[in-house]
Amino acid sequence: MRLFAALFAALMLFATPPAGAQPRPLVWGDTLPATLDMHVVFDVPSQFVLLNAYDGLYRYQGNDLVPWLAESHTVSTDGLTWEFKLRRGVKFHDGSDLTAADVVYSFHRLLALKRAPAAAFTPVLAPENVTAPDAHTVRFVLSQSYGPFLAAMPIVAIVNPRAIAPHVKNNDWGAEWMASNDAGSGAYVVNAGNYQARVALDMQRFPEHFMGWGHNQRPIDQVRSRPVMETSTRVLSLMRGEIDSTDSYLPTDQVERVNRNPRTRVAQDQSMRVFLLRMNNSKAPFNNLDVRLCFAHAFNYEGFNEIILKGLVVRNAGPNPNNLWGNPAGMQPYKFDLALARQHCDRARAAGVPLNREIEIHVQTELEQTVQAAQMFQADLRRVGVNLKIVPNTFAGIVTATAQATTTPDMWVHWVSAYFIDPENWVGQMYDSRFHGTWKASSWYTNPEVDRLLTRARNSVVQAERQELYAAATAIIFRESPDIWVYNTVNLRGLTRRVQGYSFSPVGSGGELRLMSLSE
């Protein structure tokens, strides 16, 4: 009887709705973040919550940075004072007005918590220098000019202090409550009652969102986010119509299968997400340049990109996406060359570097490509006398480990995605030693000249100068090979054909729900 009831409920969920009724909820199968507090978490899954439950002063639409909660901004000639004029009539989910004081509170909270999203601002912005001259003006006075300031604006969620205040404990800024609740103004409202971290997130449309809904004649009213962790199960669930979207890491060997299914398709978009293998430069053997060059030449880039990934990626020479400014002219990527790799490894051994020990590489077991890359690399390194051990892990587990050099793995595999579109998002935060202790800087690379160049680049507001400085820093980093840069991602997201209006942006990977509708 219990089995019958479950089957009946499943049939009712996927039954065709009566004419005029709202289609069944969108079921989003992508990964969820560890917390709903957008001032604490800074990774790809968090972008889904940031884009839909919250708003920022500016937002990326496609590759373009556009005013959002702000109508406009001005900046002083010295690049230090920024003023943003806010839209009027914006409402939080509780119906209260969003004013400049709320923006000030949001930045004070972000800077006080000192978690990953704050990293883009803490070098140049003190809390007392974020003020509200009037109800619709926010003023930022920087300690020094900062080129990426506007580009980084979209990463800051504007939160409702009135919703948070009753839940503050021991001056924690309401962190415990915010981890599982919503204090935003975004196009969708979180249903906190049935939220389960990493497991389930339900949202409903916010009809009073300030951007309105005139752009979308059939907006989605109900959203169910249900991550499916295992790749084959995720693809099968999509093809059966149990979920409407996979993550944006669809394995390339599944693309043709999904496209052949009459109910599903694959959205393919070149992104700004760089796939790389990190090396912990702070300890042996990767504190030796010859070892790093050995490993750089022992990775079979063409075999991985063209055969395993079926050419559905773009080879990337360095840490910045190849479709971004700030790269040195004519930079040629490292090539797979086992003879050259062996020479570098032999030179390192002759210098006494301990290459006889087992090298551990941590992979994200829920993301098949990280495992495939490690397995292929393991086989080729064996041919130059290096023993690579593959260690299953999760992104969250690796991020925790990378807080200290001593606990950071020898190697690990991941992507660096577009959180804001500026070289600072990649080379700046990956290789400036001031960011050590964050997952982005987890190769623990140190070079004082690189630090100097990157500091000058971020402190300049002259685009031509920033281009030159980032290119000079990238050229040095490339020569010292602190990591293995493999490709720039072609975003592959499986979708059911009933999902209409899907629009890709490098920031958020196409997860902005307000643009989508459903057809049955």
pLDDT in tens, 487-507: 999 999 999 999 999 999 889
Cα gap 185→479, rounded to integer Å: 46
Euclidean distance between CA atoms 481 and 281, whole angstroms: 10
Distance between CA atoms of 159 and 99, rounded to whole angstroms? 11
Question: Which ranges of 250-325 does DSSP label H, i.e. alpha helix?
Answer: 255-260, 289-298, 301-302
Within 8 A by CB and 6+ apart from 305, the residues are: 311, 313, 315, 486, 487
Other CB atoms within 10 Å distance of the CB of residue 237? 19
Residue 12 has pLDDT above 60, yes or no: no
pLDDT-derived band of residue 180, with 50, 70 and 90 as boundaries?
A: very high
Q: Is residue 63 part of a domain?
A: no
- The closest alpha carbon to 129, from 147, 113, 150, 144, belongs to 144
Cβ(443)–Cβ(410) under 8 Å? no
Going by pLDDT thresholds of 50, 70 and 90, the confidence category of residue 147 is very high
CATH number for position 411 = 3.10.105.10
Q: Is residue 425 part of a domain?
A: yes
Please report how many Cα atoms fall inside a 13 Å half-sphere around the Cα of residue 43, on the Cβ side.
Answer: 18
Report the first-to-last Cα separation within the chain, whole angstroms. Answer: 31
How many CB atoms neighbour CB 411 within 10 A? 25
The confidence score (pLDDT) of residue 3 equals 35
Contacts of 218 (CB under 8 A, 6+ apart): 500, 517, 518, 519
- When divided into structural domains, the chain yields a total of 1
- Pair 426, 152: CB distance under 8 Å: no
pLDDT tens-digit profile of 240-297? 999 999 999 898 989 999 999 999 999 999 899 999 999 999 999 999 999 999 999 9
In 131-155, which positions are buried (b, 16+ CB within 10 angstroms) versus exposed (e)? Answer: ebeeebbbbbbbeebbbbbbbbbbb
* pLDDT given at position 406: 98
Tell me whether residue 87 is in a domain.
no
Mean pLDDT of the chain, nearest integer: 94
How many CB atoms within 10 Å of residue 127?
Answer: 13
Taking the C-alpha atoms of residue 503 and residue 245, their distance in angstroms, rounded to an integer, is 13
CA distance 78 to 119: 22
Which pLDDT belongs to residue 508?
Answer: 86
Query: What element of type H or E holds 105?
Result: helix 100-113
Rounded CA separation 435/444 (Å)? 9
**How much is the pLDDT for 21?**
62
pLDDT of residue 510: 84
The residues facing 245 across adjacent strands are: 28, 495
Distance of alpha carbon 206 from the chain centroid = 25
Residue 444 has pLDDT above 90, yes or no: yes
| φ, ψ of residue 156 in degrees (nearest 5) | -100, 115
Helix, coil or strand: residue 110: helix
Please count the other Cβ atoms lying within 10 Å of the Cβ belonging to residue 366.
19
Query: Considering the domain boundaries, does residue 120 fall inside one?
Result: no
Rounded (5°) CA angle 271-513-235: 65
Answer yes or no: is 461 within a domain.
yes
Return the structure tokens found at 360.
Answer: 């551990």
Q: Tokens at residue 17, please?
A: 């709705």
Locate 267 and state its tokens.
């959205």
Instruction: Output the six-digit token pair for 457.
Output: 């680049």
Q: Examine residue 355 and state whether it is found in any structural domain, yes or no.
A: yes
Model pLDDT for residues 446-457, shown as the tens digit of each residue = 999 999 999 999
| Interacting residues of 15 by C-beta distance below 8 A, sequence separation 6+ | 24
Q: Which of 131, 93, 98, 127 is nearest to 113 (CA)?
A: 127
Rg (CA), the chain: 24
How many residues does this entry show for the chain?
520
| DSSP conformational letter for 153 | G
Residue 142 lies in a domain: no
Strand residue runs (E) in 319-463: 359-364, 388-393, 411-416
* DSSP-derived secondary structure letter, 25: P
Phi and psi based region of residue 174 (left: phi greater than 0; alpha: psi -120 to 50; beta: remaining): left
Q: Using 50, 70 and 90 to split pLDDT, how confident is the model at 20?
A: low
Residue 332: give the domain boundaries: 271-490
The β-bridge partners of 82 are 75, 140
Tell me, yes or no, whether 437 lies in a domain: yes
Q: What are φ and ψ of residue 208, in 5° steps?
A: -90, 15
Burial class (CB in 10 A: 0-12, 13-18, 19+), 63: middle
**509 pLDDT tier (thresholds 50, 70, 90):** confident
Q: How far apart are CA 446 and CA 432, in angstroms?
A: 7
**pLDDT at 17 exceeding the cut of 60:** no
